[in-house]
A and B are shown apart, each in its own frame.
Chain A
Amino acid sequence: MLTEFLDFLGSLHPLIVHLPIGIILLTIAIDVFMRNKNNSVYRVITMGWFFTFFTGLLAALFGWFLGDNGYYFESQINIHRWSGIALVSLSFIIWVLRYINFRFSKPFNRSLNLTTIILLMVTGHFGGEMTHGQNYLFENLPYIEKEISLVKLSEAKRSKADSLMVYEDLIHPILEEKCMACHNQNHAYGGLNMSAFESMVKGGNSGTGIKKGKPYESLIYKRVSFPHDHPKFMPPAGVPLSYDQIATLEWWIDNGAEKQIPVTSVRNDAKIQRMIEIQYGLDLKEKTFLETLKLASPSPEMLKSIQGEKYFFRYLNPEQSFMDLKFTKKEINTKDLINIQKVKKNIVWLNLMDCMLKDDHLGYLNDFPNLTRLKIQKNPLITNKGIEALKNLENLSELNLYGTRVSDAALITLGQIQSLKKLFLWNTRITPQAIADFKAQHPEIEIVAGL
């Protein structure tokens, strides 16, 4: 009962706070502009300071109640609170001094007036920040660039979208901003403490906070998505959760509400993914190996080895570090392969088709860390034996073996290449049965084996 009454008084703070403001300004105006200060003018000014003190005291008291109800963080209120109290105290001192007819010098009087006005501005400004938001003072100035993304994520985090967690990086900051002023470990309103994951899930006096997988039965989701005039709508004061924030919360609960769900799993819902990408300035598209690979360009020294008519290469990226290399002659030898090895780090696509490649040649290819596409088709001397060397190519995703003499046993080797996505096996000795078995075992690998 008492708490509610104090809350009511607290809500009067923004109303009553304007009384002392007006009175201070009027009092100082009289002091400054009435040159001829006879006795009655002096008493009017003294009375002005008294009313400043009195109404200011009320405003400060109500403000204290308001600040205590938990809608605001101490860090937000701090300056406002103490500069307001300083203002009230100052007006009290001035009133007392004038009341006992203490005569102060003109400069001293001026500096008192000035201090009061500065204190008033400071108090008013930080009060305004609480009601109108952090940037209210300058946000509508024409030259100020407006922040478009609503929620800020640090640059460091944004660059590592793969390692972000839905709870830690998205949900917790929302709850912190919107709920934790009241629902924290110190004042857990309604018995609900949202500052820790476990206690938030557990809920408060009204019941379980979050039912994993069931957003519409989770109290936290229900309270923030009620109609705004519903008595149980949360938060009861301040800016409600945005549509995007509610949708993110809904997605998270729907998908299990676990602490360790990576942000990248929103890929299962294109709409939420798009929403989060725009809101947080993230790029959550699935990256291929090449999209994440950072390489330095090959040195001129390295390039020397692949000069000449035999080799043709082009760069695949503007950084000139990914190479697409092909052997242009009809017959390759070990020396050519050793030359190609000199740039093995930079080769991402390699074309050695139709150049009499032999099994033991393939041994030279076993350590190409960034090779993703290998074309060795139309080399009829290649057999299962040669293929063995390829299983160490840990980023190979596409392999063209058409027109080689590989047979069913080669598929066992090829199945060990984890990164493999596509396999071309037309015109080889591999049987349709073996392909069918392989497909059943490795559904992620697409096989093209003729028409």
Chain B
Amino acid sequence: MHCNDHHHENKNYSRRDFLTKTSLGLGALSLGSMISPVNAYGQSEFLNLLDSEKMKLPHFVPKAKRVIYLFQSGAPSQLDLFDYKPKLNEMFGKEVPKSIIGEQRLTGMSSGQNSFPMAGSLFQFNQHGQSGAWMSELMPYTSKIVDDLCFIKSMYTDAINHDPAMTMIQTGSELPGRPSIGSWLSYGLGTDNKNLPEFVVLVTKGKNGQPLYSRLWGNGFLPSQHQGVQFRSGKDAVLYLDNPPGVSSGIREEQLKSLEKLQRIQHADIGDPEILTKISNYEMAYRMQTSVPEVMDVSDEPEYIFDLYGEDSKNPGTFAANCLLARKLVEKDVKFIQLYHRGWDQHGNLPKDIKKQAKETDQATAALIQDLKQRGLLEDTLVIWGGEFGRTNYSQGMLKPDNYGRDHHPRCFTIFMAGAGVKKGITIGATDDFGYNIAERPVHVHDFQATLMHLLGIDHEKLTFKFQGRRYRLTDVHGNVVKEVLA
């Protein structure tokens, strides 16, 4: 499977093998002949057994077959959307009590402030549905479907800045280089549709904010066929997928077949599994030449569906259009669809900016969930909405009666989920009256990831990959399934 696997077959030796074995000198050579290559590379029987756990996936009958992750990049303010804190309005402008912040770290952007005035949300909160979930007026459409949602108001993370926090929630580590959630699922569960990638990424076009790196949907150390494939709006959904001018489909097929023959010879010679990955990538690209234009084509959709998702949905590349595409991909059994919507990083001018931001996402999010529901797809699809951390209860910069900003706040934030295997119309966890610390049922990012894996039938402790001498998993050595979420 991986680039070092051929060492264990004990029959093909690459240049690298030769150098590793000989560069340690004669002593190493004689040792090498005494110890079997299997032991020399630390692959004991026991560890083999661990790896074979992967063969038995899923570990139990899954609730969800697919995931749509509506990632809100930049960290939306939970205090203005979901986490209703009248205390902050009562004490508007007063200093955050010392006992609340304690010795906790703040970002360099606001730690120098002389004053930390509490900023109650300017937006009206109301309870909705039978579950009585609190929602702000910023999300009128989502408010109507709260009885289908499961809120976690006590999420927290380790990182205080965007890049590490996003890397954390997407890959389980603050440091870049680990596989993204979608890659792990692709690696663990494989494909349900051979004509499309298992892991598709859709980014809202024309948004500014924190940069998005393709490593956020990268395969890390997993074989590269498991990386996320970005579908762009416009003519070429997947770059370089079309045949160059003058090359017909027949010529292309013939060319790929010849290339595969060459690659198979090469693989037989040195046995590097990454060659097989390359072959499968070419094959996938070829199949995608027909499957991608088909799935990207929304001309069949009736008018009332566009109405449901909002007028943006006719404009390719918007969040609404991407939500509609996500539904189409789910219908085609794509396993993991990751949307990114940037622009939530409101350090200043929050009340004005968040309105616009909420308007762009609210209707389409609710529409997606409803649309999946009426098609029976919500039964086996999990939808997640959330950012990488929360925002502070105090104002960054000057607090005015009608304006404030909020800094990064990793100590608590809110996400919501809907769909397969998740309880409906409940709220898990709570923050304190000041919306600063968690008061009830903390859920770490790793717990969230463990729960996600659980819903897909994976024991997060068992899906591992050996790299650089040790086994890695999405949740590394952490994470507990949040049982309260499970229906």
Contact = CB atoms under 8 A, between A and B. Distances in A.
Interface in B412-459: 457
Interface in B365-417: 370, 373-376, 379
A317 B374 contact: no
Contact of B376 (A318, A324, A424): A424
A377 B370 contact: no
23 contacts: A290-B61, A291-B61, A312-B193, A312-B194, A316-B58, A316-B457, A317-B60, A317-B61, A318-B56, A318-B59, A324-B65, A375-B376, A377-B376, A398-B376, A400-B375, A400-B376, A402-B376, A422-B379, A426-B375, A448-B373, A448-B374, A448-B376, A449-B374
A318 B61 CA distance: 8
Contact of A318 (B58, B65, B190, B370): B58
A2 to B, nearest CB: 61
B62 interface: yes
Contacts of A448: 373-374, 376
A326 B57 contact: no
B272 to A, nearest CB: 28
A318 B374 contact: no
Interface of A: 290-291, 312, 314-318, 320, 322, 324, 326, 328, 373, 375, 377, 398, 400, 402, 422, 424, 426, 448-451
Nearest to B333: A326
B374 A424 contact: yes
Contact of B190 (A314, A398, A400): A314
B192 interface: yes
B186 to A, nearest CB: 13
A322 B379 CA distance: 18
A112 B193 CA distance: 87
Contact of B374 (A291, A326, A451): A451
Q: Which 10 A-B pairs have the closest CB atoms?
A: A318-B56, A424-B376, A400-B376, A426-B374, A316-B61, A450-B374, A317-B61, A451-B370, A290-B61, A318-B59
A351 to B, nearest CB: 9
Interface of B: 56-62, 65, 189-190, 192-194, 308, 333, 370, 373-376, 379, 457
Given A402-B374, A422-B379, A451-B370, A318 B192 contact: no
A31 B142 CA distance: 95
Contacts of B65: 324
B174 to A, nearest CB: 33
A318 to B, nearest CB: 4
B454 to A, nearest CB: 14
B373 A322 contact: no
B323 to A, nearest CB: 15
B375 A402 contact: yes
A398 B420 CA distance: 13
Given A422-B379, A451-B370, 8 more contacts: A312-B193, A314-B190, A317-B58, A318-B56, A324-B65, A402-B376, A424-B375, A424-B376
A328 B193 CA distance: 9
A338 to B, nearest CB: 24
Nearest to B308: A451
Contacts of B333: 326
Contacts of B62: 316
A318 B373 contact: no
Contacts of B59: 318
Contacts of A290: 61
Contact of A314 (B56, B192, B194): B192
Contacts of B56: 318, 320
**Most chain B beta carbons < 10 A, residue from A290, A318, A402, A450:** A318
A326 B374 CA distance: 20
A320 B58 CA distance: 9
Nearest to A317: B61
A148 B57 CA distance: 32
Nearest to A422: B379
A158 B57 CA distance: 28
A274 to B, nearest CB: 12
Contacts of B189: 314
A448 B371 CA distance: 11
A426 B375 CA distance: 7
A430 to B, nearest CB: 14
A312 B193 CA distance: 8
Contacts of B308: 451
A156 B82 CA distance: 50
B288 to A, nearest CB: 16
**Most chain B beta carbons < 10 A, residue from A373, A398, A450, A451:** A451
Contacts of A315: 58
Contacts of A451: 308, 370, 374
Contacts of A402: 374-376
Nearest to A309: B194
Nearest to A372: B61
B375 A318 contact: no
A424 B194 CA distance: 27
**Most chain A beta carbons < 10 A, residue from B57, B193, B308, B376:** B376
Contacts of B194: 312
A322 B376 contact: no
Contacts of A312: 192-194
A236 to B, nearest CB: 43
A419 B58 CA distance: 25
A156 to B, nearest CB: 25
A202 B192 CA distance: 64
Contacts of A314: 189-190, 192
Nearest to A312: B192
B12 to A, nearest CB: 30
B105 to A, nearest CB: 39
A358 B172 CA distance: 48
Contacts of A400: 375-376
Nearest to B371: A451
Nearest to A423: B376
A422 B376 CA distance: 9
A17 B187 CA distance: 73
Contacts of A424: 374-376
A422 B65 CA distance: 18
Contacts of B373: 448
A377 B375 contact: yes
**Most chain A beta carbons < 10 A, residue from B62, B190, B379:** B379
A377 B333 CA distance: 15
Contacts of A324: 65
Contacts of A373: 379
A373 B370 CA distance: 20
Contacts of A449: 374
A318 B379 contact: no
A306 to B, nearest CB: 15
A315 B457 CA distance: 11
A400 B376 CA distance: 7
A398 B380 CA distance: 12
Nearest to B374: A426
A424 B372 CA distance: 11
A172 B224 CA distance: 62
B61 A322 contact: yes
B460 to A, nearest CB: 15
Nearest to A314: B192
Nearest to A319: B56
Nearest to B145: A451
Contacts of B57: 318
Nearest to A315: B58
Nearest to B61: A316
Contacts of B379: 373, 398, 422
Contacts of A291: 61
A136 to B, nearest CB: 38
Contacts of A317: 58, 60-61
A109 B56 CA distance: 71
Contacts of B61: 290-291, 316-317, 322
A296 to B, nearest CB: 16
A315 B56 CA distance: 9
Nearest to A398: B379
A400 B192 CA distance: 19
A328 B287 CA distance: 15
